[in-house]
Amino acid sequence: MTFEILILLLAAAVQSGTPILYATLGEIFTEKSGVLNLGVEGTMILGALAGFVTARLTGSPLLGFFLAGVVGSLATSIHGVVCLIFQGNQVVSGLALTILGLGLANYLGTGYVGLSAPGFDPLPLPGLAAIPLLGPIFFRHDILVYCSYILVPLIWLFFTRTRLGLALRAVGEYPAAATAAGLSVAAHRWLGVLVGGFLMGLGGAYLSLAYTHLWTSNLTAGRGWIAVALVIFAFWRPGRAVFGAYLFGGIMALQLRLQATGTQVPSSILLMLPYLLTVLVLVFSSWRRGSGEAPAALGINEEPVD
Amino acid sequence: MKVLQVLAVLLLLVMAGTVQAAEKELKVGFVYVSPIGDAGYSYAHDVGRQAVEALDGVTTSYVESVPEGPDAERVMLNMARKGFDVIFATSFGYMDPMLKVAKQFPDIAFLHCSGFKMAENMGNYFGRMYQARYLSGMVAGAMTKSNILGYAAAFPIPEVIRGINAFTLGAQAVNPEATVRVVWTKTWYDPATEKEAAKSLLDVGADVIAQHQDSPGPQEAAEEKGVYSIGYNSDMAPFAPKAHLTAPIWKWGPYYVKVVEEVRQGNWKPESAWPGLAEGIVDLAPFGAMVPQDVRDRVTAKKAEIAAGKDTIFTGPIFDQSGAVKVAEGVAMTDAEMLSMSWFVKGVVGTTE
CATH code of the domain in which B201 resides: 3.40.50.2300
Whether residues B333 and B209 fall in one domain: yes
B44 neighbourhood in chain A, CB within 8 Å: none
Roughly what angle, to the nearest 10 degrees, separates helices B253-265 and B41-53? 40
- Is residue B66 domain-shared with residue B213, that is, in the same domain? no
Using DSSP, state whether A175 is helix, strand or coil. Answer: helix
Answer yes or no: is B280 within a domain.
no
Report pLDDT digits (tens) over A17-59: 999 999 999 999 999 999 999 999 999 999 999 999 999 999 9
Residue B107 lies in a domain: yes
Give chain A's residues under pLDDT 70: 1, 289-292, 303-306
For residues B180 and B163, give the distance between their C-alpha atoms in angstroms, rounded to a whole number: 12
- Across the interface, whether the CB atoms of B216 and A114 are under 8 A apart is answered yes
Please indicate if any CB of chain A lies within 8 Å of the CB of B40: yes
With CB atoms and an 8 Å threshold, state whether B35 touches A9.
Answer: no
Q: Are residues B216 and B338 in the same domain?
A: yes
Helix (H, G, I), strand (E, B) or coil at B326: strand
pLDDT tens, residue by residue, A88-126: 999 999 999 999 999 999 889 988 887 888 999 889 999
Residues of chain A numbered 210-269 and touching chain B (CB < 8 Å): 211-214, 216-219, 221, 252-253, 256-257, 259-268
Return d(Cα B63, Cα B61) in angstroms, integer.
7
Q: Output the DSSP codes for B67-122.
A: PTTHHHHHHHHHHHHTT-SEEEE-SGGGHHHHHHHHHH-TTSEEEEES----BTTE
Round to whole Å and give the CA distance between B187 and B77: 28
Please tell me which of the candidates A213, A253, A266 has its beta carbon nearest to residue B353: A266
Tell me if B238 is assigned to some domain.
Answer: yes
Q: For residue B187, list chain A residues with Cβ-Cβ distance below 8 A.
A: 221
Percent of chain B with pLDDT over 70: 93
Whether residues B113 and B177 share a domain: the answer is no
| Cα–Cα dist B340/B353, whole Å | 15
Q: Domain range for residue B108?
A: 19-125+252-273
Phi, psi of A300 (to 5 degrees): -105, 125
Burial class of residue A143 (count of CB atoms within 10 Å of its CB; 0-12, 13-18, 19+): middle
What pLDDT, in 10s, does the model give residues B186-200? 888 888 899 999 999
Tell whether the torsion through CA atoms of B240, B244, B248 and B254 is positive or negative: positive
Pairing of strands B26-31, B58-63: parallel
Is B192 in contact with A256 (Cβ distance < 8 A)?
A: no
pTM of the model: 0.86
Same structural domain for residues B239 and B154?
yes
Q: Are residues B200 and B293 in the same domain?
A: yes
What is the pLDDT, as a whole number, of residue B22?
Answer: 43
Low-confidence ranges of chain B (pLDDT < 50): 1, 17-23
B91 and B155 fall within a common domain: no
Q: What is the CA radius of gyration of chain B?
A: 22
Q: How many domains does chain B have?
A: 2
* One-letter amino acid for residue B350 of the chain: G
Question: How close does chain B come to A93, measured CA to CA in Å?
Answer: 26
B189 and B34 Cβ atoms separated by less than 8 Å: yes
Whether residues B162 and B257 share a domain: the answer is no
**Residue B155, domain member (yes or no):** yes
With contact defined as beta carbons under 8 Å apart, do A57 and A50 qualify?
no
Residues B140 and B235 in one domain: yes
Q: Which of B283, B320, B327 is nearest to B304 (CA)?
A: B283
Bridge partners of B152?
Answer: B183, B211
B37 plus B106 within the same structural domain: yes
Cross-chain Cβ contact B197/A256 below 8 Å: yes
B7 located within any domain: no
Residue A182: its H or E element: none
CB atoms within 10 A of CB B186: 14
- Say yes or no for a CB contact (<8 Å) between A116 and B193: no
Same domain, B38 and B114: yes
Closest by CA to B219, choosing from A120, A213, A59, is A213
Does B105 lie in the same domain as B137? no
| Residue B1, pLDDT score | 47
Task: Tell me how far CA of residue A14 lies from CA of A42, A142, B195, in angstroms.
Answer: 23, 11, 15
- Return the percent helix, strand and coil in chain A, to nearest 5: 75, 0, 25
